[in-house]
Structures are given as C-alpha cells and as structure tokens.
Structure 1
Amino acid sequence: MRRGTITQVTSRPAAAQHLSDLARLRRVRDRIDREYAQPLDVEALARGVNMSAGHLSREFKRAYGEPPYAYLMTRRIERAMALLRRGDLSVTEICFAVGCSSLGTFSTRFTELVGMPPSVYRRQAAGAIVGIPSCVAKQVTRPIRNREAPVSGPQLA
C-alpha cells in the first residue's frame, strides 16, 4: 500500500514537468515556424524557454522526430520550394530570404532534402503543379526530413 502512494507522489511532479516541457517545446516549434528567416540557433531557442541547449535538443527530437536545427532547415527549405515555384526570385535571393547565409550550404541542404538542386527544382516544378491549388501543392511537395531524398548513384540497367 505504501509503495503505491510513493509512486503516485513521485509521478505527479514528473507528469507535470513533462507537460511543462511539452508546452515549452511547442513554443520553440512555433517560434521556428514564425521566425525561420531570422538567425536562430539552438542556444538562443533554449534560452527563450529556460532550458539548456542539450536538453532542448534531446526533448525536441523525442517529441517531433528531429532536432531543432533540422526542423528549422526543413522549414527553410519548404519555404524556398514555394518561392522557387513562384518563380520571381533568383536562387540567391531565395537563399537569403529564407534565412540562410551561405548559398553553398543552402544548395547542399536543399539537394539533400528534395533530391535535386534548387535550379533544377524550379524548372521541374514550374509545369508540374499547374492548376493545383497552392494549399495542395504545399502538402504534396513538402520536404520531410525523415524521408530524405536518396543519394543519386550510378543507375543499373
């Protein structure tokens, strides 16, 4: 009987802490979604919710399946894809518009997540989504980190 009481007493604060952590993680994710084009780093995100950077990274990955920086880059690439489909900005302008400071890093991450360089994506996406509502195009073309594009290798016939 006494053992059950101890478990109940100790599990309540743990459950409350877990709920508090989930609320803080949601605030971090919402901030990334809102401020993806701003210079963000894990340390600044963690300070904003009174967590250590390591704890934030571990808990964010456990809750959302990827670390905060990967989530940020996925959001940036997702926005870049929409801008590339629109077609009125250069790849360099899009790189800086989504918060990346290096065109090389942007192109590398874009290629890893989407499976093709930004310039190729722009050419292929121009005709592929004609007539599709933008809300549907966004869902269909959304990059998902856990489903990264396979690395291109030699084709076997």
Structure 2
Amino acid sequence: MSRAVEESNRRMLRARDAMDRAYAEPLDIPTLARIAFVSPAHFIRTFRATFGETPHRYLQRRRVERAMFLLRGTEHSVTDICMAVGFTSLGTFSRTFHDIVGESPTAYRRRAVPLGAPGCFAMAYCRPASLLDKPGGTGGG
C-alpha cells in the first residue's frame, strides 16, 4: 500500500471515528471533510471507496444500530429514541430504520429479546447489514 493511500485511509478513519463518537449530533459533510482535511466532494468519493457506503448512509446505519440497542434494552418511546440517536423526524427515522433493519422500530421492539451475551457479541450479532451486504444492494444513501 502506498504512503498516499495509507494517509488517505487514516484521514477517512479519523472522520469515521468522529461520526462514531458524535453520531447523535448534527453532522454535515463540510464538517467531516474538514476533519479529514479534504474537500467535501473528495470526502464523499473517498469515504465511499474506502468503506463501501456514503458517509450519510454510514451515519444513518450507526444511528439505527444505537436505536436497536435502546429499543431492546429500554422502555423509552420510539419518538424519544429517535431524537436521542440524532434523527430530527420520526418519519425519516422510521423509514430509515425499516430500510436498514427490514421492519419498523415498533415491530423490532416487539420481536427483539434482550440478549444475555456480552455487549461486544450482542453488537456484532445485531448489527444491521449495509446495503452492500444485501442481494441487489447498491450501497447508495
């Protein structure tokens, strides 16, 4: 791997780590691009080439992962969870959740049972697949 590719990957990881830490905060492409020291257009292209999905879709999936955890482990309302994970619209949250998980947040909560496994195993087991993992998926978002 060339030094330039390695540096590019490091910058994309820096931005992805920021997204993981602040997933519930309002994050926009210009802010993330500044973290990676690249232009917004270059950031979107490079992030997708590096991680297989757009920054927007990655952030949505990260938020849905956290919502899944909260739906399984708390009695908070779906609306409260929606706002807690960074969505500002219940409709957008429900549509995105359904697109990623395959069912509504309410249906997921009814079906889900708290796992009696360590958190790291539960997260890996319950992690929603990206669009690229699904047959016919495009990875767009």
Q: Same fold (TM over 0.5)?
A: yes
Where do 5+ consecutive residues of structure 2 fail to align? 137-141
Which structure has the bigger radius of gyration?
1
Which residue is 2:133 aligned to?
147
Of 110, 122, 125, the residue aligned with 1:137 is 122
Contact 1:111/1:118 (8 A) holds in 2: yes
What is the distance in 1 between the residues matched to 2:45 and 2:28? Answer: 15
Q: Deviations along 1:105-156, whole A, 9 cap, x unmatched?
A: 0000000000000001001003xx4434433222111012123599xxxxxx
| Long gaps (5+) in structure 1 | 1-14, 151-157
Per-residue CA deviation, residues 21-44 of structure 1 (Å, 9 max, x unaligned), is: 111101001001101000001121
Cα pair 2:67 2:82 within 8 Å, conserved: yes
TM-score, scaled relative to structure 2: 0.87
Q: What is residue 78 of structure 2 aligned with on the other side?
A: 91
Q: Which residue pairs with 2:139 in the alignment?
A: none
CA contact (8 A) 2:14 2:35 kept: no
Q: CA deviation at 1:101?
A: 0.6
1:2-151 equivalences in 2 (<5 Å): 15-126=2-113, 129-145=114-130, 146-148=132-134
- CA distance in 1 between counterparts of 2:134 and 2:28 reads 22
- Structure 2: how far apart are the matches of 1:50 and 1:44? 10
Question: Following the alignment from structure 2 to structure 1, what is the Cα–Cα distance between the partners of residues 103 and 92?
Answer: 14
Q: CA, structure 1 residues 148+73, in 2 after alignment: closer, same or farther (shift >3 Å)?
A: farther
Q: Quick one: distance in 1 between partners of 2:24 and 2:50?
A: 23
Query: CA 1:148 to 1:36, structure 2 compared with 1: closer, same or farther past 3 Å?
Result: farther
Which one has more relative contact order, counting CA pairs under 8 Å at least 6 apart? 2
RMSD: 2.0
Q: TM-score, normalised by structure 1?
A: 0.79
State the percentage of identical aligned residues. 45
25-34 or 129-138: which moved more?
129-138
Amino acid at match of 1:27: R
